[in-house]
Structure 1
Amino acid sequence: MHAAIPMIGFGFMDNLVMIQAGEVLDLTLGVAFGLSTLTAAGFGQCVSDVAGITCGGIVDAVVARLNLPAHGMTEAQITSRTARIWRTLGGCVGVVTGCLLGMSILLFKDTAAADRMKRANELTTIFRTVMQDGHKLVHAERATLWLLDKDSGELWSKIATGEKDEIRVRQHQGVVGWAVQNGETARVDDAYQDPRFNQEVDKRTGYRTRSLLVVPIKMDTDGRVIGAIQIVNKVVQKDNSDTGDRTPGVFDEADERMAVMLSRHVATFIDVVENH
């Protein structure tokens, strides 16, 4: 008991600080500089060790207040081989118990958040380059790149022309969800007349969707669908000037071919990022 109980406190504090510090580093420096989770955990352990040295007195003070019963052993008994074995065993049991208690904080954390942020950070430049110009290829107002998150069963988008925040919808939701699930292109002339259309995003962003062109993104290696490109609101420009009249239009087969070509480029980029 004398050997185990203090180590419970040290193990709990060590793991708690390491996990907290490691998570903060993983979500900040790890995402910014592409550090692995193990590297962030290593730096978190450094912080934890320093905290153990500087705050060890707190654990000792708490243990002292427990008023543990005296062991009543003589000096010879304390230094005996049997006592050393039990002291070591008690310390091991205590530190493992403390570490497991400290790990209980993981039950309340999104442990996949850092991985999602790192992957999104790696793809952001590619997404921005492709999607900011993608809608111009077919004379539309906006383009959005949706990716499938298999862990959460959601489709998410970080880069949407005109939007800054990440948007998430259920995997089967909307025209995008239909295209991803069926692996087929969807052309919609009037979004609000299509029962597949998800109006929640419009309500959230204040944007009005009229026409839609959604093309699934398929990996060349195995044909799996990993997301979709959604191009919104076709416009017809009456002259070639930037300030010419622009009226709402609908997407045609030529637009679809251009969007399919764009989706293949995106699939190639993502394949490079995933296997770099």
Structure 2
Amino acid sequence: MSGQKDYSVPSRFPSSNRKFKLKTLSQFEESQINRNQELEHQLKMVSKQNDKLSSLNQYLQSTLNKRNEVIFEERQLYNKTKSIVSPQKSNSTSKRQSQQFHSRKSSMPYLTQTSRLQYVGEEYFRLNQVLEINISDEEAISYFENDPNIKFVRQLDEETFVQIAEEQNIKKLLQIHDHILKLQNFIKEMFEAILKFKKIIKASYQMNQQGQLNDAISCIVDQTQQLMNCERATCYIVDETKGEIWSRVAQGINSIIRMPIDQGVAGFVAFRKESVNIPNAYADDRFNRESDLINHFKTQSILAAPIIGDNNQCLGVLQCLNKNQGVFTNEDSAYLKYICNFSKAVLNHSLNQNQVESTQNKLRHVIKYFLDIIQIEDPWKIISITEKVLKKIMNCEEARLVLKSNESVYYMKYGIQQETTEFLGIFKKVIDSQCNESTLNNNSNPFFDPTLDIDTQMPAITMPINKNSAFQVLNLKGVNKKQSQQSHSAFVSGLELEMLEYIRSILFIKLK
């Protein structure tokens, strides 16, 4: 009615304005999310920098403490020297001696450097130089004979020493005392090195008593932890065919450890075949922090070295975590290389023993298979027994045998008996060509057909028996990086290929 009033509430904002405001609000939220992500990234970078600065601060504090110790020793040395001098000497003589001492003090760079050993520079005999496993005897003797302290003591005969003592030459007496202190420190280091090598030799004897691979790894881990005086030790074994490192034994860990050969500190050592000494694990990008979260452990310092075989092949990695006192030194790195050198023979022997036992077990399966199948005529039982032994030999979960009889092709899929009228896929190719087919990815094979072939992205090998039969089995060890770069064929170990040939020969005789 025209006379009635309109009481409807008008919209405060037009519809177009509301859409515009919603769009603007959405853009603002998106920009805030991006900003938050940038801030999180910056926070992570700042956290890394803080870790590095903390490590540097610890190192500088340690250096400052050493410097203070050196100054304190020099003051004690000066006080002792003053007591040797006759108290009846004139003030001018005492003043001259004091000037000589201060003159000597100003010429000693180690009073203003980080440690006393740096005073002699590169010429000083360092223990880790001789401990280097690849150094020759001639080089070690040269380091020793060219040490300035050794040279000085050799040139100081009895007559010269008595003359210096009678003259009460403070400068020369302090010089002699200084060289004697350094030689005393050197003798102490050498004695400690002898005790360490005594322990290493004893440990190597115990390692060589182990025949089984697990026992050998366990012994290596225990001995390494004791010798290196660390919280944890791990011995990784390198599996080049799978491109990974693994260990069944690690202190404080009960499960099997597996990781790609190019990840983590141990993977880096195995891939590069070089040792690493990391004083601050969390400041190093190679360290995998997730391992600490999983194992409920706090890694502080890491020392790791490769176990290199006779053919320059990396057999494994020895890794030490958290030295009980301080951080790992260059001498510790040298000692670990010797332990790795002894471990090489132990691992070689245990791996060979493990290979022999594996071969014996596979041969037992083949012999038992021959005795079982020779009395069976039912094709379904032949298929079932053959697939079981193939799985055991290749240590996999899937295998398939295809038989043709009376114009029908028999096979089992997911435990169900099935038939078809003709060969298909990879089976057809190998039966027509009578040649083996080995692929890195079974599904990617251009001849693949899901009707008969095993539907998997894993490596597989297919072998013909005769014109009416063939079998296909997973090849878990088929990933070989070096070979896969050159060909699409999967690597097949010589032992497993030989066992498969035995199975094919038995089936060829049985199905003739």
- Higher CA-based Rg: 2
TM normalised by structure 2 equals 0.27
TM normalised by structure 1 equals 0.50
